[in-house]
Amino acid sequence: MGENYIVQALQFLVQTLFGLYIVVVMARFLLQQARADFHNPISKFVVSATQPLLRPLRRVIPSIGRIDTSSLVLMLALQMLKMLILYALLGHIPAVAGLMVGSIAELLNLAINFYVVLLLILVVASWVGGGGYHSLLALVGQLCEPILRPLRRIIPPIGMFDLSVFAAFILLQLAKILLVAPLLDVSRQLM
């Protein structure tokens, strides 16, 4: 009976520690893709937190165009290791193919959730206002711009309402339904 509590505690620690670091690596990847301001204090934190693992990877894994493949490989490796540890704690070692597909699905899900949170911050900040510059809001705007810009070309603002954010929420949820859920199903079958 006591073993179950220890396993639950270990699962919690693995999910939390790996999850937080994967989010930071994902933030770095998305900051680079959005060409966000790296002089922002939050960006500086993200870079300093990810540099110890990314620096050696960059020596062996070059970027492909604008895509930082080292960050992608690191996220995938961390997610696979996280899932492997969680399964091992339950006494099960999954197949590599299932682990790979499941990790990709989890990373896509995380990216979608990341953008949902960013969009919510953007919406709440626009309602509250407050004027002035805030480093977090500046970064959120820069990260959301690559998603919102193409939508704004299709859906212009109506008065003071920017419906592109609403459209982005819908598209992100559709991506969860049409991409993440099927990938998770495939990964379960491969395990």
Is residue 191 scored above 60 in pLDDT?
yes
The per-residue pLDDT for range 130-154, each reduced to its tens digit, is 666 678 888 999 999 999 999 999 9
Contact criterion met (CB below 8 Å) for 179 and 111: no
Q: Would you place residue 3 in the very low, low, confident or very high pLDDT band (cuts 50, 70, 90)?
A: confident
Residue 40 DSSP label: S
For the chain, the domains span: 2-190
What's this model's pTM, rounded to 2 decimal places?
A: 0.90
d(CA 102, CA 109): 10
d(CA 76, CA 88): 18
Angle at 132 between CA 127 and CA 136, to 5 degrees: 75
